[in-house]
Structure 1
């Protein structure tokens, strides 16, 4: 068996670790990789403190080795009991070379539905008999207690993801292994083939130089595979080479077509009356006597052919024909290695952006944004990109969404309708694989169905220049489409969840109207204030949605809300906290209640005040609510008001007091802060944008500086003012504006 370090080194190790981190986050499992001796190959992912793996590395290695010895010969992912029956680990084999399994992916822990109680009462859980370290046993107990039971569907999902991670890991490591082995073999061959004159020359020139110096044949040719089963003669050299250059042939067709099917070199003599000679006659070579062919291959993959043609039987043979044949055979092998190396480089270059995309795309919560990312990434994964399109149907209203690059109307729309007819209209029977469509108006199109919720919901289509490129890109684009399926399903499920939550919340809110119209209006006003606070920049839209629903349902018993499975758990907690804040103002202190409950208290206070909210906000003091949040809310309420009055400029006897507008208050507060703490002009500009709730990115864009420079300015501002965050800085400005 090959040593692990042979194929897992440098960038490859980093890529594998990043891929593992992504799958661990996706499955919510502790994931790590060991070799067949139980030694850790990667750092454990999805664990807060991995020191126990370092502290007890020998003991844990022995545990893992014992389990691996039991699993000799496994070829698929298994679910194994560990320590206590019912405590499951997923173990997936990773095969790197043609010998036995070299690595194992471990994913855990899984507690199957209905087994948690029997686990924690098992004798081995209470008094462990295994030789595992006490710290590790305690850590296992903690995991078991904090790991919820999973349904059979969830178990299948996690098993599939761990299996796919193991397969992806195998593919990456195989590529790395082949790359390292190829490098060693190419270096050895370079010492034989490359002279000082050929250093730096492309492979075609080296091939031409080697063949031109040989007297084994009169004409030499160099053909490469350009499509599955199809070859093109790229170069021909020698006197009377005719029109061979650019000609094509297929596997099994004529002498050349038969030669590419043979693993060894081939030779035919006295071919003038052989029907297979017709190919050469078509290209102006009427008197070929002998054909010698040397396949360009690496392992079992054929990339092309080197061949030589002689016009007559040689009366004076080459000084060393065996050496010439060996040299040309080596040349074919060398070219095959070179092509394989380039292909693996391309695949590795494709994997890196795919892994980077996987980290970003899992956080996207908008189907159309996912479509844009799939289109952009698909064009980056194809070497000669021309066009890409994603067609998506989310409803049955007869409309589809289309995102495309490199396509113009009406061809793009016509093709999208054809995709919808062939895939989406029959979505009850999901398509399971990709399809190369040669009949489109955009050359060859690779079409990948995107399936989720048991239906074909979308199709990713990418144009390629030829079938050979399509074959090379098929697997990586399939992985991209699979990633799109996972993320679109996540977005779809979240949208369904939000739709149900909002619908039920409004039903419960409408029920209030029947018995308390005033409270019905008050809760609606509070929700509106929360939404305005989000638009102002105080909280995110997602937070505002949850807090707004909690406002609408504030009259509902939280215990009843918790009876809705997976719907109103956050809202119930916020309502409880809000009621505690509202009902018991004798308790001092802050920080013991959720942020949502505190914002509800502030929103209802402002909603209750109605037109007198400015008077209330100046004296606003609610026990249990963070003062920084109160100060932020004051500035928000101030920004809701616009000053409108008339000023008499005739016979004005005394200057009238200026009313305080939001802009004036901010300006007066800023000037006072600048003077008190000695802020620079640039620091004042940054603080002014902070008060207006601008993000670091927005500040950088406004002032034409980098985000890093913005962070440096904020650090200096906070140090000078003696505050620790934005909220405290905003509060200080507001207090100066009204003080």
Structure 2
């Protein structure tokens, strides 16, 4: 009894040390090598290997070994993969003895946590009788290895706001379609202008996220966003008094462009003028223009205004759009501000049931109206 108690105490002490070591290791391969070394030493094994799933690529299996030749290792690794990672066998969580083609006996122990198999530890042994007393201990080691790998996977998994941003975008589309259209206009401009001024892909991605979030109150989304860059940009958006960072400037410029947030701090900023020049050069229109005889049979100005429920000023803006003028040129022509033009354009697009100028122009021409 004293010897048995001493043996259990020794195993418990060893298990405690192994558990402490594994859960503090920051590299998955080191966890696996601990399992290999402990298994070989515990069972006096002649060789040992671990087949495991790659953390970054779920469909990729890798193998580590001690004492096993490469040619046989590749063959055995494929065999392990078929038996433990095939779809119908993913729930195998108990250790088993297995006879290899060369006559060697191995004990195969799945590395698991919550019924998920992360890998398989295989140890070459002499006979089953020598292994049997250590099976509970080996099973515990497999579970500890699974816990360690699971923790490492969570730490290494990239955090992304893609899903929550998608949800907020869909909510905006369903509940506030007009604001959704404005947000999409701004998002469509981010990549082109961002590349034009040398922003990184990460900065462009962050600004796109911020455009969607800017249509909501801060308390609605602040506990849902995990990307550090987005958190920092939105904190500046809501709380800073100085607009110095280029990403924040671009965000304000785009919201200014669609008429959502007109911040006076960027009114004379050189980056705003650079954006306006870029937007003017890159503004493109695609339209279908009907033949003259088809146009002639169309609607007059008063008829089209009444049919579309346009105000006098909206009709004037629409006529200028049909003549090919951009927002700045329309503002100068009608002696109104750029912001007022943008508001009129938003109303016109809504009344026409279209999302951009090209569609608006095509639809008006199809109705048979052209400006004089």
TM-score, normalised to structure 1, is 0.26
TM-score, normalised to structure 2, is 0.48
For the pair shown, the structure with the greater C-alpha radius of gyration is 1
Would you tell me which structure has more strand in proportion to its own residues?
1
Would you tell me which structure has more helix in proportion to its own residues?
2
Higher relative contact order (CA 8 A, sep 6+): 2
